Amino acid sequence: MTGAPSPALSRQQFRLRAPPLPEPRGPLSAAVTDLLRGSGNGGVPSAVQSVNGCEDPYGDDLQLALYVLYELHYQGFQDVPDSLEWDGGLLACRGAIEDRFLDALRRDVPIDATETVEQSLDELQLEPVGDDGTGVSYFLRDEGTLDHLRAYAAVRSLYHLKEADPHAWVLPRLHGRAKAAMVAVEFDEFGGGRADEIHAQLFADLMADLRLDTTYGHYVDAAPAEALATVNLMSLFGLHRALRAALVGHFAAVEVTSSPGSRRLAEAMRRVGAGPAAVRFYTEHVTADAVHEQVVRHDVVGGLLEGEPHLDADVVFGIHATTHLENRLSDSLLGAWREGATGLRGNWTEGPAAGDSRPSS
């Protein structure tokens, strides 16, 4: 059958092609991208040596290199063979980078041996008295401009356009009640059987409403290291069976904090006059994640620990690691916004011009 694509198909174009490789941010990310292009001088040993030379495990160079290697398991890159996904040398390089990142997280996220998962999740639910907080969602609700919201959506697109995917990797590693509950929540995240209701699609609709480019991975070069780290954390936990409980902790932290934060962001979108799709993404999460939070607490986390109680500390680690990296991103964006900057790398002044990709009517 020929003719124009359906509106639903047009909306889904953001995931139908692989992005180009991003621009390197240092010797390690340059070595990794060279390897993927087949032009690496010194090969994998040289890249691994660059890992050892990275001073900041949270910095641009290491986080971009790790992001690029993880993307081989998602959408891949233009002109990079899919067969490299399981290349032994690249996996060895990725393992060395992961070790640096994970070591830094374990150092900077100390866990009290007496702290339980319930205590960690209860702490996340504590809202400031009078709803007078200092995080990104409060700033955007109270004083954020349309430009702030566009910059925020561009940064978070690296997360939200793959939001549920890394969490799905934990499914084969769960059993019984935990698996059934995780599948139930993921079913909602993936649209309840409807492609146009997939939450990643709803975020693409939000981006189109804000006149941002909805192409998958389009804003990688603009994203600060703090944003890359929040995405890399999901992949790190999702790709390792040994970190399955940390992935559950990450998932729980996201679901517990999503509903109140989404309510504030929906208010921000309304206040600046954003379109209905921009508002809808967050209003959808206000109601859905309030339900998900209970399911995750009682059945995903509860079911996991019922069968494997020794994983309690790993769930707590996942919760705190998520909070640690989200706070770093929040501090980075708020610091930039209060100084009149965008919070994105480079001279990001994209407007509703060539990059506009609103869905066809």
Q: What confidence tier does 232 reach under pLDDT thresholds 50, 70, 90?
A: very high
- Do 170 and 178 form a contact (C-beta atoms < 8 A)? no
pLDDT attached to residue 51: 81
Q: What confidence tier does 356 reach under pLDDT thresholds 50, 70, 90?
A: very low
Residue showing tokens 């939070």: 293
Specify the 3-state DSSP secondary structure of 272: coil
Averaged over 139-167, what is the pLDDT?
A: 95
pLDDT attached to residue 43: 65
Closest CA to 65 of 104, 95, 32: 32
pLDDT attached to residue 96: 93
Return the top range by mean pLDDT from 54-63, 242-251, 254-263: 242-251
Q: What confidence tier does 289 reach under pLDDT thresholds 50, 70, 90?
A: low
- Residue 31: which residues within 8 A CB-CB, separation 6 or more? 40, 42, 46, 47, 50, 65
Closest CA to 185 of 170, 196, 207, 173: 170
Q: For residue 86, is pLDDT > 90?
A: yes
Please give the Cα distance from 264 to 277 (Å, whole number): 16
Tell the CATH topology of 117-338. Heme Oxygenase; Chain A (1.20.910)
Closest CA to 88 of 65, 72, 77, 67: 72
Q: For residue 88, is pLDDT > 80?
A: yes
| Residue-range domain boundaries for the chain | 7-108, 117-338
Cα dihedral sign for 208, 261, 315, 301? negative
Please give the Cα distance from 199 to 160 (Å, whole number): 8
**Tokens found for residue 206:** 């939000």
